[in-house]
Structure 1
Amino acid sequence: MTKPEVVAAILWLSLTAYAVLAGADFGGGLWDLLAIGPRAADQRQAIAEAMGPVWEANHVWLIFMIVGLFTAFPSTFGILALALYLPLTIAMTGIVLRGAAFAFRGHAQEAAGPLSPWGAIFGAASSITPFFLGTAAAAVVSGSIKVTGGRLASDFTAGWATPYGGLVGAFAVAICAYLAATYL
């Protein structure tokens, strides 16, 4: 294997680790949002206890992959950053909102009870983030991102804002819910 192939394999492994480990966390947020009935508080507590020690550490894999892609394949990084600017920005905003809501919800439960708005933000961000990461993946694998002369030749909605992108995004949310259900 050549050096670029070795680096690409390492980046692929880090992306896979992020998808599996953070996917279970995102799914936990979805289950937290959907928890109803007399056992809802117990379910939310179990999710918080399972996620609490590791939820932020999972993003290290994403950071490693982004920095590795930027360092090893800067032109590819630039093209993907331009082509997928909107879905990746929404996903990163979801990650930030999700983290803030998870932290603030723990402090707000004493004042507002288990139905604080932070719980809703946590659940919504846990659904939006994998959806838009899925649409970005759909754009890459569909071949809709066109490059001519080393420059992006397709528009900013190519691939991800399509029915296929929506289906892959929905499938990503479903996979995260499944991973969380298996983990919990």
Structure 2
Amino acid sequence: MAMIFIGGSRDIVELPDAIVGRIASIVAAEHGILVGDAPGADTEVQALLGGHGYEHVGVFCAGDEPRNNLGDWAVYNVPPLPDIHGFEAGAQKDGEMVRRADYGLMIWNGMSPGTVLNVLRLAMAEKPCVTYDVANGLVTTTRDVVDWQTMLSRADPEIWDVLATRMTPDERLATTLG
């Protein structure tokens, strides 16, 4: 059973038909799904999986309890290191999902730094990721950092300013060597 990290932007409140179909295929193949607890894409994915009555799901959270666990699935708490808060705490949780995943499926609004950094983390680990850029109607598969950079070359250039404030030193280095 392959493990698939599914995530996306918080402002995604409806899953595109292509994502619904892709998730139905994942369910039919009985792959494991790793999903976060955030509102938006994570919650929409949880609602879809709950509608399928799907059981092979793990919900990851940085807090003591998940904000959302619509299917009462297994919870994996990834507590942040001391003095880590906000997006950095979420990045640690997401890093654990990348570590456990074989593949990624991201639903991106074209601007969310957290989602596109998860694609980078998967690329750095050489784990394929399909990204649906719902803002631009694009589907991209990344397998490495060069693929990720190509994907970002089509994004709004302003995203680089935001990414620069959120990347870890290892992520910055990977993007300069890619």
TM class by shorter chain equals: under 0.3
In terms of fraction of residues, the more helix-rich structure is 1
- Which structure shows the bigger proportion of residues in strand conformation? 2
- Greater relative contact order (Cα 8 A, min sep 6): structure 1 or 2? 1
**Higher-Rg member (1/2):** 1
Give me the TM-score of the superposition, normalised by structure 1: 0.27
Q: TM-score, normalised by structure 2?
A: 0.28
